[in-house]
Amino acid sequence: MDITPNILIDQFQRKHTYLRISLTEKCNLRCSYCMPAQGIPLSPKAHIMTANEIFEIAKLFVTHGVTKIRLTGGEPFVRKDFEAIIRQLATLNIEIAITTNGILLERYLPLLLELNITNITISIDSLNAEKNQQITRRNYFDTVWKAIESLKLHTTIVKLNIVLIKGTNDSEINDFVALTQQNNYKVRFIEFMPFDGNEWNTEKLVTEEVILKKVSAYFGSNTLIREKDKANDTSRNYSIKGHKGSFAIISSVTNPFCDSCNRIRLTADGKLKNCLFSANETSLLQDFRNGIDILPQIKLAISLKKKARGGMDTYEKLSDSNLHSNNRSMIAIGG
Ligand code: SAM
Ligand code: SF4
């Protein structure tokens, strides 16, 4: 029996212990799968949570059962007050993780190591500098690669996120898996998800079946090991016999993990999203600023969480652009 009194539980008995906070809507890249070429309209600065507000709202979640916070964005390191934010959050005595494009990682790595924060995921969608530039619309491949190499020296495991898009970077699946031979990298292949303005369509998806076929054909099917997945894992985990690292497949579109979802999201402008795919948001910041207790709103938002993919519970609904384009771009949600 669960005796934790304050846990945030929804009608499907899912306990929400993992909060992802987007620190900013801004980014130093322009990834084509994450945001439209013309950019997104940014919220006025006054509508963005301050460092103190992030801390106080995060603390409220922690007192109600959250045990892990991931900082994301936009690009979390472009926040000028990143140091103040992370120092405050580090006092909460919970697991802290960061997802970053790596460009500014070297600047903040000493601070993160001082605070014992080593759960850092770096996004890198191609090992080819030109292709990387084509995907991210900026030329930072060398900087990101250097950040990965530095992180490797300081942490036991380095997680790499790759959004696979058919015809763009699916030819590099085996190159990424090959990186795991000598390095303790966890290469995470993420299925391309539909958001406002990212020109998603089903033809661009690279499924788990396709990935495994390519990997088996190259490394040999007898070398492929199915690893055990952790509770609440959104990925299916694999490795190649004899490799130091591993790889994982995150198929949020074709094979979602909604049944064991423990995640909630707070956008940079202080809105709670009970699901990445849901266009519904609960605005917490204004009430918080007015001294109103926001806990009832948080509990209500969680109780209204849909069973799967924000209500787009069939593949047909998800493929309907009228439904998924109501949602913000990933850059403004926090992936
Ligand atoms: N800027 C940081 C970064 O790129 O790692 C953090 C924010 S980014 C929105 C978080 C993650 O979401 C990244 O790994 C990115 O690749 C992923 N992402 C963005 N758009 C996506 C999409 N349409 N489908 C799947 N993953 C996406
Ligand atoms: Fe920026 Fe990350 Fe989105 Fe790329 S995926 S545009 S790095 S927020």
Q: Among 26, 98, 101, say which to mutate for ligand 2: greatest number of ligand atoms within 8 Å of CB.
A: 101
Instruction: For residue 327, give the nearest of 279, 272, 262, 266 by alpha carbon.
Output: 279
Whether the CB of 101 sits within 6 Å of ligand 1: yes
Residues in contact with ligand 2 (CB, 6 Å cut-off): 27, 29-31, 34-35, 73-75, 101, 123, 330-331
Q: Which ligand is nearest to the CA of 132?
A: 2
Helix crossing, 141-154 with 129-136: angle to 10°? Answer: 100
Residue-range domains of the chain with CATH: 18-333 (3.20.20.70)
The percentage of the chain sitting over the pLDDT mark of 90, rounded to a whole number, equals 78
**What's the pLDDT score for residue 234?**
85
**What's the pLDDT score for residue 2?**
47
Whether the CB of 194 sits within 6 Å of ligand 1: no
Q: pLDDT tens digits, residue range 254-306?
A: 877 888 899 999 999 999 999 988 888 999 999 999 999 999 999 999 999 99
**What's the pLDDT score for residue 311?**
66
In which element (H, E) is residue 69 found? strand 68-72
Least confident of 60-64, 88-92, 308-312: 308-312
**What's the pLDDT score for residue 315?**
67
Confidence of residue 11 (pLDDT cuts 50, 70, 90): very high
**What's the pLDDT score for residue 254?**
83
Q: What is the Cα–Cα distance from 75 to 186, expressed in whole angstroms?
A: 21
Distance 29 CA to ligand 2 centre (A): 6
**What's the pLDDT score for residue 206?**
95
Whether the CB-CB separation of 203 and 214 falls below 8 Å is answered with: no
Beta bridge partners of 123: 161
Q: Across all residues in the chain, what is the average pLDDT?
A: 92
**What's the pLDDT score for residue 5?**
57
Distance 60 CA to ligand 1 centre (A): 26
**Pick the residue with more confidence: 81 or 199?**
81
Q: Among 22, 25, 31, say which to mutate for ligand 1: greatest number of ligand atoms within 8 Å of CB.
A: 31
**What's the pLDDT score for residue 286?**
97
Q: pLDDT tens digits, residue range 158-197?
A: 999 999 999 999 999 999 999 999 999 999 999 998 877 7
Whether the CB-CB separation of 206 and 170 falls below 8 Å is answered with: yes
Instruction: For residue 135, give the nearest of 37, 223, 63 by alpha carbon.
Output: 37
* Beta carbons within 8 Å of 164's beta carbon, 6+ residues apart: 170, 173, 189, 190, 191, 192, 206, 211
Whether the CB of 196 sits within 6 Å of ligand 1: no
Q: What is the Cα–Cα distance from 208 to 250, expressed in whole angstroms?
A: 8
Q: Which ligand is nearest to the CA of 36?
A: 2
Whether the CB of 310 sits within 6 Å of ligand 1: no
Confidence of residue 39 (pLDDT cuts 50, 70, 90): confident
Q: What is the Cα–Cα distance from 98 to 334, expressed in whole angstroms?
A: 11
